[in-house]
């Protein structure tokens, strides 16, 4: 007899109790196979990714990073950077030499022109994806790097160029790193590690290293971001304390060395901490002081287009039936803004009445 | 390649721009908008005089404080939507009946007579008139009136400025599901027509959330499915209680299915945003526009042209070939049995495990162009497969009966139980979108992958839900 | 369609010289762009002039496609392109790109900007951005009927002087101000009124330097380009359409067809 019929008969013989059990098993199996990221399907298709190519591209990226930061690179440091055994690293180097992607002088490894442009292509894909993830998707900040690490080996430079065009051809990734142009141009490295700053120095964060993840996560929790002004108030033996946006932050030298700072002439940032828009109660009004740099891309532009710019009067007028979002009056229009976004908008409380128009 | 005499070529220009951008740093865009607004504010201060409090704004705000208030916000919203649906369902009955009597009861026999007079071969007459024409007539008569009522009403609410307030009120629910507040709108639009709901998802900026809104739109019980729900609920659920309560209980069952749909919409949105479309809910900045009296005539005209006719046309394009297929499967015989009977017999045992039957499965496969023709197809196939003599209009000819009792009789003769009825209601909610919607999803996403996900995800869910309902039911009875 | 002269002489017709052409887009003399924020009654203006019945919901992003219609005024045939309603022209969203690119590359003879008079400051944001791109524009100050309820008084002449373009108070829903709008559009299109559009200068010195540097390069490459400052600014923003237009040479064509076609 045909299979579905005999299967059905078998199932029916067992009665609904067993059927339920089988059903649950079937659903569980479905989940096990198709669960995104961790299911069998995802694992099998990941296995398809050419691990050799991934390793090779990672090595080129690492070598480029050494070169960009003007550090010498040897077999040891490469193996350490890629977290592979010396043995494996030397085989990898062998291959790269054969392919003409790197050259060797004594112990020092360096990229050939071909190798450099290959590395720049991979870096471009990586950084554009990070930018895209940060600006256009809701992917959490700590996952950008990991996600982009996956994409950089899968997506073609052409597809990346199209993506870049879509998001306004960005020139910086969300960590503050410059994105190489399609022709492989990249500006010189700016700034120095935060750990090298002295008391009284004023600078601006230009880069936050996103590897290793454990350190990066900590820095994200501290609320640090590229573009943030820092003013060093105290340097102790293994600790550096600095003021940012009115907040004070203390990091160990290890952590501080993961932050690159561009020195700035001028005065220290204001010590007064701004209130957040979300703290405004319905009926209160204030003046917009600025939008946090953690609000990026389209989201930031949209808020500014709606009139959320420094100096604008803003008043909380109406709360949604579910409590969030709140409608704010900006230039005689009610704009609904979620608490999540209102947390990213700084205000200065003023005592003037909310309804004047100057 | 030499470009200009000034030793400057376009590539140099682009490269210079790149260098300048690296030098300008991360957030110089702020500077640009700020300087535009700086001038805007300066000019406005010079030329605009606010003589007194802005009374118009105050008044809108007063309305807003009621419409979005903690206690009244949601009741008002449900009342408004219930009113729209009631007007749609109740108001569509009469014109639908008129269209049906014109296109199906009058024009169809007339066409048949004409074909007979022309000595048209029976198969050509069947394919063209019983298949293609009848399915088109059916789609028009069942689809046009509700849409012609729903869309103008919906557009009126939109023009009035009420819909943005719905999004404003519902946002937090959708945010928790990882979706966008404006999905409340695409969802309500989906109650009219899923294809229109999918198009409406354009108002969502974030691609991730837009995709979620598109994929889950099918869980809004669209106009085409309301008649099925109402009929089956009346027969099987209403039949469970005393006649006095039947109307209320079956209406409650239909509303229950619609609410279940909203639940699935949120659940699946949540599931998607935790897995394949991982991410936090992105931005929500929505202007609550001033209330303005809508212009009724203009709204009527434009919503009829822009939405109703557009959607109807797409449905007709798909209904015609489907009608042909429906006729063919009922009339092409292999080994003494029609294709339809072969399929029904082969799948019946399997379908019973899901509390459905072979007829329902086949009907949902061949009636993919429009949910409107599912019930007539089911009736035709039931009569065909259980050889009920004297009923219906012949094999391959869809039909419906005026009397609900007669319909119930046919279905019960086809072996339907209360469980079959309940599961048909569930499956009608949770199955693939109609082909018009599938096509629209493809047009909107340009992605085969997401079109396939939107198509098959609801079927898998539907089968799972039906399976457990059936088995728990059998366990308890 | 023939041109019925009876209509023009007909005394009861309140807009004596207007004839709505709907979708008839033949033999066009002038191309107009219709821009504005969402919720400003832009489509009402469009429908009033062309006789079409365009409906756009009050959502940004909804109408990505643009609608076209036409009318005849004083024997000249005008084509009107209804652009998506946007708050700004500086973002990467599709609707803003469509609007921005049409005003720049489509080179409309006149851009009509519809603004909500009761929310002028907010609407000026878009207006000023449009004046950065084009130097032929008319501001239609819509919803004037509502300014009384909002207790707002607008110095229309002062506004016109500040912006350097004609400003026409109107209430499109009541069909008020349409005559004056048509006349102003004609004056700008035919060159009788020469606009002196307001341009933004208050950028930071660093940005100003970058703009000036690129604009000078642009001036060398494309001497006819009327809005080099804006193009430079867009290049700094990474605007892909402009980068493509530079690569393809399309940018060089802007401004070369200097004056609008005369009949």
pLDDT of res. B181: 84
pLDDT of res. C262: 38
CB contact under 8 A, A23 and B178: no
Name beta bridge partners: C167. C139
Nearest to B208 among A137, A298, A307 (CB): A137
Is the minimum CB–CB distance between B296 and chain C shorter than 8 Å?
A: no
Question: How much is the ipTM here?
Answer: 0.86
pLDDT in tens, A192-229: 888 888 887 888 888 888 777 788 888 888 878 777 77
* Sequence-ordered alpha helix ranges (H) in chain A: 3-13, 15-34, 40-47, 51-68, 75-82, 86-98, 113-136, 144-151, 157-166, 213-221, 253-256, 297-305, 339-342
Shortest distance between the Cα of B372 and any Cα of chain A, in A, equals: 30
Contacts of B472 in chain A (CB under 8 A): 16, 20
Pick the more confident residue, A244 or B363: B363
Judged by average pLDDT, the poorest of A13-17, B78-82, B105-109, C106-110 is A13-17
pLDDT in tens, B267-300: 999 988 887 777 665 667 788 988 888 878 877 8
Residue at B251 is within a domain: yes
What does the alpha-carbon distance between residue C167 and residue C156 come to, in Å, rounded to a whole number? Answer: 7
φ, ψ for residue C133, nearest 5 deg:
-90, -45
What does the alpha-carbon distance between residue A114 and residue B233 come to, in Å, rounded to a whole number? Answer: 71
- Pick the closest to residue A277 from A344, A356, A351, A352 (CA basis): A344
Shortest distance between the Cα of C1 and any Cα of chain B, in A, equals: 24
How long a stretch of residues is chain B? 477
- Pick the closest to residue C145 from C127, C110, C118 (CA basis): C118
Judged by average pLDDT, the poorest of B163-172, B429-438, C90-99 is C90-99
What percent of chain B has pLDDT above 70? 95
| Binding partners of C (≥3 Cβ pairs within 8 A) | A, B
pLDDT of res. B5: 47
Report residue B403 CA to chain centroid gap. 27
With beta carbons less than 8 A apart as the criterion, state whether B224 and B197 touch.
no
Q: Which of A322, A330, A340, A355 to mutate to test the interface with B (most CBs of B within 10 A)?
A: A322
pLDDT of res. B264: 95
Per-residue pLDDT at A277 exceeds 90: yes
Q: How confident is the model at residue A48 (pLDDT cuts 50, 70, 90)?
A: low
pLDDT in tens, C48-94: 888 876 665 545 445 445 578 889 998 899 999 888 888 999 887 77
pLDDT of res. A273: 66
Q: Which of A334, A342, A345, A358 to mutate to test the interface with B (most CBs of B within 10 A)?
A: A334
- Supply the DSSP string of A259-305, one letter for each residue: EEEEE--SPPPP-SPPEEGGGPPTT-EEEEEEE-TTS-HHHHHHHHH
With beta carbons less than 8 A apart as the criterion, state whether A33 and A39 touch.
yes
With beta carbons less than 8 A apart as the criterion, state whether C180 and C112 touch.
no
**Domain extent listing, chain A:** 40-111, 115-166, 192-263, 275-349
Q: How confident is the model at residue A246 (pLDDT cuts 50, 70, 90)?
A: low
Structural element, H or E, at residue B22: helix B10-24
CB contact under 8 A, B205 and A298: yes
Is the minimum CB–CB distance between C98 and chain B shorter than 8 Å?
A: no
Contacts of C220 in chain B (CB under 8 A): 4, 6, 8
Average confidence (pLDDT) over C249-261: 64
Contacts of C93 in chain A (CB under 8 A): 298
Per-residue pLDDT at B416 exceeds 60: yes
CB contact under 8 A, A169 and C238: yes
Q: Which of A11, A169, A325 to mutate to test the interface with B (most CBs of B within 10 A)?
A: A325
pLDDT in tens, B118-155: 888 888 888 888 888 988 888 888 888 888 888 888 88
**And the tokens for B5?**
């005499």
Is the minimum CB–CB distance between B20 and chain C shorter than 8 Å?
A: yes
pLDDT of res. B198: 92
- Pick the closest to residue C261 from C100, C81, C79, C89 (CA basis): C79
CB contact under 8 A, A168 and C237: yes
Contacts of C225 in chain B (CB under 8 A): none
Contacts of A171 in chain C (CB under 8 A): 238
pLDDT of res. C257: 53
Q: How confident is the model at residue A315 (pLDDT cuts 50, 70, 90)?
A: very high
Residue at B42 is within a domain: no
Is the minimum CB–CB distance between C205 and chain B shorter than 8 Å?
A: no
Between positions 161 and 200 of B, the ones with CB within 8 A of C are: 161, 164, 182, 200
Between positions 74 and 133 of B, the ones with CB within 8 A of C are: none
Burial level of B52, CB count in 10 A (0-12/13-18/19+)?
exposed
pLDDT of res. A2: 54
**And the tokens for A168?**
């306004």
CB contact under 8 A, A23 and B21: no
pLDDT of res. C12: 41
Nearest to C236 among B17, B33, B298 (CB): B17
Hey, which CATH number is domain A115-166, 3.40.1170.60, 3.30.30.10, 3.40.50.1010, 1.10.60.10? 1.10.60.10
Nearest CA in chain A to B470: A16
Contacts of A2 in chain B (CB under 8 A): 346
Taken in order A83, A89, A92, A97, is the CA torsion positive or negative?
A: positive
Per-residue pLDDT at B69 exceeds 70: yes
Average confidence (pLDDT) over C19-44: 85
Per-residue pLDDT at A236 exceeds 80: yes
Shortest distance between the Cα of C93 and any Cα of chain A, in A, equals: 8
Chain A / chain C CB contacts < 8 angstroms: 45
Nearest CA in chain B to C89: B33
Residue at B270 is within a domain: yes
Contacts of A277 in chain B (CB under 8 A): none
pLDDT in tens, A163-193: 888 888 888 888 778 888 888 888 877 778 8
Is the minimum CB–CB distance between C210 and chain A shorter than 8 Å?
A: no
Per CATH, the number for A40-111 is: 1.10.10.10
Is the minimum CB–CB distance between C240 and chain A shorter than 8 Å?
A: yes
Q: Which of A171, A305, A333, A355 to mutate to test the interface with C (most CBs of C within 10 A)?
A: A305
Contacts of A325 in chain B (CB under 8 A): 168, 171-172, 181, 284, 286
Nearest to B306 among C55, C127, C221 (CB): C55
Quote the Cα angle for C29-C33-C34, to 5°.
130
Query: Which domain range does residue B448 map to?
Result: 75-277+297-476
User: What average pLDDT is seen over chain B?
Assistant: 86
pLDDT in tens, A85-143: 888 888 888 988 998 898 888 888 888 989 998 999 999 999 999 888 888 776 777 77
**And the tokens for A334?**
């009610």
Hey, which CATH number is domain A275-349, 2.30.110.20, 1.10.3720.10, 2.30.30.90, 1.10.620.20? 2.30.30.90
What does the alpha-carbon distance between residue B1 and residue A342 come to, in Å, rounded to a whole number? Answer: 53
Q: How confident is the model at residue B241 (pLDDT cuts 50, 70, 90)?
A: confident
Residue at B388 is within a domain: yes
Shortest distance between the Cα of A139 and any Cα of chain B, in A, equals: 4
What does the alpha-carbon distance between residue C60 and residue A61 come to, in Å, rounded to a whole number? Answer: 42
Quote the Cα angle for B206-B283-C56, to 5°.
60
Per-residue pLDDT at B419 exceeds 80: yes
Domain count, chain B: 1
Is the minimum CB–CB distance between B471 and chain A shorter than 8 Å?
A: yes
Average confidence (pLDDT) over A237-256: 82
pLDDT of res. B282: 65
Query: What CATH topology corresponds to A192-263?
Result: SH3 type barrels. (2.30.30)
Nearest to A318 among B64, B285, B464 (CB): B64
């Amino acid at each position: 007899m045909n299979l579905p019929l005999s299967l059905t008969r078998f199932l029916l013989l067992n009665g609904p109790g067993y059927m339920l059990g089988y059903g649950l098993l079937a659903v569980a199996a479905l989940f096990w196979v198709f669960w995104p990221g961790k299911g069998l399907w995802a694992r099998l298709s990941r296995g398809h990714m050419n691990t050799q190519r991934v390793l090779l591209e990672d090595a080129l990226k690492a070598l480029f990073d050494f070169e960009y930061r003007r550090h010498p690179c040897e077999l040891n440091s490469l193996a350490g950077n890629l977290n592979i055994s010396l043995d494996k690293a030397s085989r990898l180097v062998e291959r790269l030499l054969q392919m003409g992607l790197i050259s060797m002088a004594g112990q020092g490894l360096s990229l050939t022109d071909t190798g450099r442009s290959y590395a720049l292509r991979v870096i471009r894909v990586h950084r554009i994806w990070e930018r895209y993830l940060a600006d256009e998707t809701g992917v959490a900040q700590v996952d950008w790097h990991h996600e982009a690490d996956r994409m950089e080996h899968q997506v073609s430079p052409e597809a990346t160029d199209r993506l870049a065009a879509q998001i306004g051809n960005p020139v910086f990734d969300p960590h503050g790193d410059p994105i190489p142009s399609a022709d492989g141009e990249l500006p010189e490295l700016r700034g120095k590690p935060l750990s090298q700053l002295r008391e009284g120095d004023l600078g601006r964060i230009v880069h936050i290293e996103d590897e290793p993840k454990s350190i990066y996560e900590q820095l994200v929790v501290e609320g640090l971001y590229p573009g943030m002004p820092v003013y060093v108030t105290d340097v102790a033996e293994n600790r550096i304390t600095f003021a940012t946006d009115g907040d004070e932050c203390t990091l160990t030298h290890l952590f501080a060395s993961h932050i690159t700072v561009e020195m700035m002439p001028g005065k220290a940032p204001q010590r007064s901490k701004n209130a957040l828009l979300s703290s405004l109660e319905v009926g209160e009004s204030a003046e917009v002081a600025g939008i946090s740099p953690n609000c990026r891309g389209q989201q930031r532009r949209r808020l500014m287009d709606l009139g959320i710019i420094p100096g604008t009067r803003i008043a909380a007028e109406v709360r949604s039936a579910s409590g969030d979002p709140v409608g704010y009056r900006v230039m005689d229009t009610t704009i609904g803004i979620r608490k999540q976004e209102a947390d990213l908008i700084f205000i200065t409380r003023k005592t003037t009445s909310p309804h004047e128009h100057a | 390649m030499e470009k200009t005499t000034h030793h400057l070529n376009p590539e140099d220009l682009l490269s210079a721009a790149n260098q300048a951008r690296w030098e300008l740093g991360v957030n110089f865009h702020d500077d640009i908008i700020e300087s535009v607004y700086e001038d805007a504010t300066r000019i406005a201060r010079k030329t605009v005089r606010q003589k007194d409090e802005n009374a118009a704004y105050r008044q809108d705000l007063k309305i807003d404080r009621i419409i979005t208030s903690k206690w009244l916000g949601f009741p008002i919203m449900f009342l408004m939507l219930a009113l729209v649906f009631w007007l749609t369902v109740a108001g569509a009955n009469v014109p639908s009946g008129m269209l049906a009597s014109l296109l199906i009861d009058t024009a169809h026999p007339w066409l048949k007579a004409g074909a007979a007079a022309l000595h048209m071969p029976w198969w050509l007459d069947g394919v063209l008139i019983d298949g293609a024409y009848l399915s088109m007539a059916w789609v028009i008569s069942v689809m046009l009136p509700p849409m012609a009522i729903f869309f103008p009403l919906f557009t009126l609410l939109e023009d009035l400025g009420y819909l943005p307030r719905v999004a404003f009120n519902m946002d937090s629910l959708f945010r928790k599901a990882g979706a966008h507040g404006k999905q409340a709108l695409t969802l309500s639009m989906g109650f009219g027509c899923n294809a229109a709901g999918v198009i409406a998802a354009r108002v969502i900026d974030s691609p991730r959330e837009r995709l979620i809104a598109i994929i889950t739109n099918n869980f809004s019980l669209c106009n085409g499915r309301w008649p099925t729900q109402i009929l089956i609920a009346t027969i099987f659920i209403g039949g469970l209680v005393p006649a006095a309560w039947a109307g209320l209980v079956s209406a409650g069952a239909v509303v229950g299915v619609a609410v279940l749909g909203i639940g699935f919409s949120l659940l699946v949105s949540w599931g998607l945003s935790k897995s394949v479309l991982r991410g936090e809910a992105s931005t929500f900045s929505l202007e609550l526009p001033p209330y303005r009296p809508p212009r009724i005539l203009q709204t009527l005209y434009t919503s009829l042209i822009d939405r109703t006719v557009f959607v109807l046309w797409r449905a007709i394009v798909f209904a015609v070939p489907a009608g042909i297929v429906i006729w063919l499967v009922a009339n092409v015989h292999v080994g003494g049995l029609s294709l339809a009977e072969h399929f029904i017999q082969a799948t019946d045992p399997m379908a019973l495990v899901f509390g459905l039957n072979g007829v329902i499965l086949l009907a949902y496969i061949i009636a993919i162009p429009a949910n409107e023709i599912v019930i007539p197809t089911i009736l035709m196939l039931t009569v065909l497969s259980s050889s009920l003599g004297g009923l219906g209009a012949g094999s391959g000819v869809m039909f419906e009966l005026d009397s609900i009792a007669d319909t119930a009789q046919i279905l019960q003769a086809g072996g339907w139980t209360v469980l079959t009825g309940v599961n048909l209601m569930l499956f009608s909610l949770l199955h693939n979108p109609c082909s018009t919607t599938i096509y629209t999803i493809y047009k909107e996403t340009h992605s085969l992958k997401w079109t396939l996900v939107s198509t098959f995800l609801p079927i898998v869910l539907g089968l799972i839900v039906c399976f457990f309902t059936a088995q728990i039911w059998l366990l308890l009875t | 369609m023939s041109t019925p002269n009876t209509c023009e002489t007909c005394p009861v017709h309140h807009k004596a010289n207007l004839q709505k052409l709907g979708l008839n887009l033949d033999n066009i003399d002038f191309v107009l762009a219709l821009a504005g924020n969402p919720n400003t009654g832009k489509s009402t203006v469009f429908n009033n002039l062309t006789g079409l019945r365009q409906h756009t919901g009050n959502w940004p992003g909804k109408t990505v496609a643009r609608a076209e219609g036409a009318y005849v005024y004083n024997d000249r045939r005008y084509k009107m392109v209804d652009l998506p309603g946007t708050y700004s022209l500086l973002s990467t969203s599709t609707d803003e790109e469509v609007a921005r690119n049409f005003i720049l590359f489509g080179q409309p003879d006149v851009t009509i900007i519809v603004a909500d008079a009761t929310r002028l400051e907010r609407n000026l944001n878009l207006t000023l951005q449009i004046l950065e791109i084009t130097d032929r524009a008319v501001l239609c100050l819509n919803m004037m009927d509502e300014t009384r309820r909002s207790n707002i008084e607008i110095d229309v002449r002062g506004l016109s002087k500040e912006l350097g373009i004609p400003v026409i108070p109107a209430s499109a829903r009541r069909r008020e101000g349409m005559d004056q709008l048509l006349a102003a559009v004609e004056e700008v299109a035919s060159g009788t009124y020469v606009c002196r559009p307001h341009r933004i200068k208050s950028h930071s010195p660093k940005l100003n330097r970058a703009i000036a540097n690129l604009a000078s390069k642009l001036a060398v490459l494309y001497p006819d380009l009327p809005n080099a400052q804006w193009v430079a600014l867009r290049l700094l923003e990474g605007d892909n359409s402009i980068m493509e237009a530079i690569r393809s040479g399309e940018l060089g064509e802007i401004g070369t067809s200097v004056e609008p076609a005369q009949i």
